[in-house]
Structure 1
Amino acid sequence: MNAKEYKPVSVVDSARRCRSVTLAPGSDLPDWLLTSQQPVRLSGYISHWQAVQHGKYSADRLCQHLLEHYSGEPLGFFFGAPDINGRFFYNEDMSGFNFEKVAADLGLILRKLLDTQTMTAPPSIFIGGTHLQQYLPGFETQNPRVPVPHEQPRNGLWVGNKTRVAIHQDLPLNIACCVAGRRRFTLFPPDQTPNLYIGPLENTPSGQPVSLVDLHAIDEQRFPRFRQAMDHMQIAELEAGDALFIPSMWWHEVEALAPFNLLVNYWWRTTPDFMDAPINALQHALLSIAGLPPEEKQIWQDMFNHYVFNQHGTQHDHIPEQARGILSQPGEETARRLRSLLLQALNR
């Protein structure tokens, strides 16, 4: 099939809309939502925020609201030439990126953003994932924190014009809150990784590996399996005041659809703090297992299934509890012992 048939509107129209529910603004999040393995759109959930009300009046008023809470510390933002059309990505040969990351005063960034609203071919400007509490410490006094089940969730500030963040995934659970403008999330379940054509693990545009597929110009000859991913694709479109719950490790592209957009999100994990990020284990496996002969890989796949992915939890019952060592129940002491062993091995 000709790739030209895949226009943005056809991708959107062919996708299933994710589940949408209405909760009272600022109300507690139900358990069924927090444990959902599917994304859920929360209609009007932050409509009570002062920032949402300011943004509905005008982008200028919202900017003033942000600056009232600004700490004054320069913050980083992405800047791309008009010809990238809002898509922050690699350059053509993937030796670098098609944008620059610089730091500036928030007031200056916001003024530049406001100026782009009337341009026919604006540059792409994007504040991405900036720590809200660090740069806008008083923001939550008028825009109450979403009651996620974590004492100190990481919250991010995302501000920009019509921009796109490539398909990526995040380990933490996530609630993304559309404060101003409109956002389109295009989501894929974690099991679609083989069909998404993920790029490098370490040389990434903003920290997370991304899909090399451009949803606005799908190259089906280069990415033939992407059609299978599209069969599982879901879309959530957010207006100002809406929010979206994204389960851990769901792939998602985020597209800002208005000339001025602002989003605040909350990331948190339900696992204990002593647990490391699983990506560290993946990287170590690339070092120690990926290059093995096929028959040895199979052995180690079976070993991982036995020691790591076994769901019964009885595989160590034959060992006296006091003698299990690093096979003991996960905890801070076991984690310390494992880190010590890994450091000794890696520092050889």
Structure 2
Amino acid sequence: MNPVEEVALPSKAAFDEQVRQAYRPVVIRGMARDWPLVRLGRTDPAEALRYCASFDSGAAADIMLAPPTEGGRFFYRNDMTGFNFERRKGTLGQLAGELARLDGQDDAPGMYAGAADLHDHLPGFASDHPLPLAEEQDGSQARIWMGNATQVATHFDLSDNFAVVAVGARQFRLFPPDVTKHLYIGPLDVTPAGQPVSMVNPLEPDLKRYPDYEKAEAQALYAELEPGDAIYVPTLWWHHVAATSPINILVNYWHNNSERGGPFLALIHALMSVRDLPAGQREGWRAWFDHFIFGEGAGSAADHLPAHINRITGPPSEERSETMRRFIVQVLSAR
């Protein structure tokens, strides 16, 4: 595997013009080295847990629990009749106390809370832990992940993502979107934590069952992050994340332009309405999609129309987005 490119902390303008346009992950070492939580975590992870608990609002979060036999992997059962973990409700303060109690225990269950909204669960934390480059992005949402040695199955995010390791260490294995067909994707609608996942365990790949995974692995990127390090993961890049310390805390920031709607929903609708058409009709629709969506000239495909009538196929605008939403709702409501 090749390493993820490492860059110096860029300005927002440089990030938008260079990093985002390149559409590849980057690592920024020491981006959050001055955070109070990072400083605590380097010397005393248990004290870092107590520090987080001091912000606890008392709001309940989803806490995932997997038996020790699963080795910290949160996934499906072997027979695909459910998941190999259970969800319980608890506060992040309660979770912090349990993680401190389990620290050093050989047969500890896998345990984590993921994507807990910082403002809801740890009010006041964000103001003491600024990350301007991430917070300046459109629609930025700060969330916290807290757990022990666990791994999250290979998945993608619908938003761009900044992830900052605050306590412990994490290993990232990333795959570009064009290897999706080699990752053996699981169900699109029944998922461990929201997004579809790869059925392959990259730490122990079963190449007899998933032989084409080797083609994905050949294009994989790898990074190991220490406290204070950050990684930028573009939307749709697949990533497997393993937290390798007994106590791990990560803060991430998802951000994207919500006005663009949901491409994943468009995919689901295309599965229902396009994929199973006769071959000739599918090719016909391929021509439409190429002309209006994927072709090089898609943005100007309707420039021959007067501007006042070129609404849906015209340039992006708030008015166009609202027109599209009304049109979609009207058509679906008539079914």
TM-score > 0.5, shorter chain as reference? yes
2:287 counterpart residue number: 302
In the other structure, the counterpart of 1:336 is 322
Query: Aligned pair 1:186/2:170, yes or no?
Result: no
Residue 252 of structure 1 and its aligned partner are, at CA, apart by 0.2
1:216 to 188, 199, 203: 203
1:50 lines up with 2:10 in the alignment: no
One-letter code aligned to 1:126: Y
1:175 corresponds to: 162
Question: Within 2, Cα distance between the matches of 1:43 and 1:35?
Answer: 20
Relative distance call for 1:75 and 1:29 in structure 2 (3 A) is farther
Task: Give the aligned residue type for 1:106.
Answer: L
Question: Does the CA contact (< 8 Å) of 1:40 and 1:246 recur in 2?
Answer: yes
Kept after mapping to 2: 8 A contact 1:22/1:44: no
The one-letter code sitting in structure 2 at the alignment partner of 1:162 is A
* Matching residue within 4, 11, 14 for 1:30: 14
- Match status 1:143 vs 2:129: yes
Residue 41, structure 1, aligned to residue 33, structure 2: no
The equivalences for 1:1-348 within 5 A come to 15-23=1-9, 30-31=14-15, 32-148=18-134, 149-150=136-137, 152-269=139-256, 271=257, 273-312=258-297, 313-347=299-333, 348=335
Q: What residue identity is the alignment partner of 2:175?
A: F
**Displacement after TM superposition at 1:151 (Å):** 5.5
Q: 1:322 to 1:30 in 2, by over 3 A?
A: closer
Check whether the contact 1:182–1:256 (CA below 8 A) recurs between aligned residues: yes
2: CA distance between counterparts of 1:292 and 1:52?
54
Q: TM-score, normalised by structure 2?
A: 0.94
Residue in 2 that maps onto 1:3: none
Question: Is the contact between residue 138 and residue 255 of structure 2 (CA under 8 Å) also seen in structure 1?
Answer: no
Question: Could you give the per-residue CA deviations for residues 244-279 of structure 1, whole angstroms, max 9, x where no partner exists?
Answer: 11112110000001111000011111x3x3221101
Per the TM alignment, residue 331 of structure 1 is displaced from its structure 2 partner at its CA by: 2.1
Give the ranges of 4+ consecutive aligned residues of structure 1 lying more than 3 Å apart after TM superposition: 27-30
For residue 28 of structure 1, report the CA deviation from its aligned partner: 5.7
- CA separation of 1:334/1:150 partners in 2, compared to 1, >3 Å: closer, same or farther? same
Secondary structure of 2:253's counterpart equals: strand
Does the residue aligned with 1:287 lie in a helix, a strand or coil? helix
Structure 1 96/177 Cα, relative in aligned 2: closer, same or farther at 3 Å?
Answer: same
Once the 2 structures are TM-superposed, how far is the Cα of residue 224 of structure 1 from its aligned partner?
Answer: 1.0
Determine the structure 2 residue equivalent to 1:10: none
Q: Report the CA distance between 1:336 and its aligned residue.
A: 2.3
1:152 Cα offset (Å): 4.5
How far apart are the structure 2 equivalents of 1:66 and 1:158? 11
Aligned residues: 330
Q: Is the 8 A contact 1:36 1:247 kept in 2?
A: no
AA aligned opposite 2:179: Q
CA apart distance, 1:328:
2.5
Counterpart of 2:111 in 1: which secondary structure? Answer: strand
Distance 1:294 1:86 in 2: 45
Q: Secondary structure at the match of 2:83?
A: coil
Distance (Å, rounded) in 2 between the aligned partners of 1:258 and 1:170: 24
Residues 30 and 322 from structure 1, CA distance in 2 versus in 1: closer, same or farther, beyond 3 angstroms? closer
Answer whether contact 1:29 1:147 (CA < 8 A) is retained.
no
Partners of 2:317 and 2:191 lie apart in 1 by 32
Q: Is the 8 A contact 2:53 2:96 kept in 1?
A: no
CA-based RMSD of the aligned residues comes to: 1.7
- The residue identity in structure 1 corresponding to 2:296 is Q
Where do 5+ consecutive residues of structure 1 fail to align?
Answer: 1-14
Matched-pair contact (CA < 8 Å) for 1:56–1:180: yes
Query: CA-to-partner distance for each residue in 1:215-256, whole Å, 9 max, x for gaps?
Result: 122111111111111110000100111111111211000000
Shift of 1:290: 1.2
Task: Name the % identity.
Answer: 36
TM-score under structure 1 normalisation? 0.90
Structure 1 window deviating more from structure 2 (279-288 vs 65-74): it is 65-74
Name the amino acid aligned to 2:27: R
Give the Cα–Cα distance (whole angstroms) in 2 for the partners of residues 112 and 196 of structure 1.
35
